[in-house]
Amino acid sequence: MENKIREIIAEELNIAIEKVIPGASLEHDLHIDSLDIVDIVIALEEEFDIDIKDKDAEKWVTVADVVKCVKEYK
């Protein structure tokens, strides 16, 4: 599941998956803005058939946070 989440993030940002490591900061390392977060949330929701609450997505700081959140919804 973690690899699929990393793949989705890399695909949505159009970056190499090697950059999408657990400790990578979404804002500082991957340069994600609020529109990117929306796109990632939608892609994750579609892939895993879940409904991520905005308040949960707002707490994401690192890739590991995204993975943890998706796992909690599954």
CA distance 50 to 33: 22
Q: Residue 62's beta-bridge partner residues? A: 25
What DSSP element (H or E) covers 7? helix 2-13
Which member of 33, 49, 51, 54 is catalytic? 33
Question: Is 29 among the residues known to form the active site?
Answer: no
Give 68's contacts (C-beta < 8 A, 6+ positions apart).
Answer: none
Residues labelled catalytic: 33
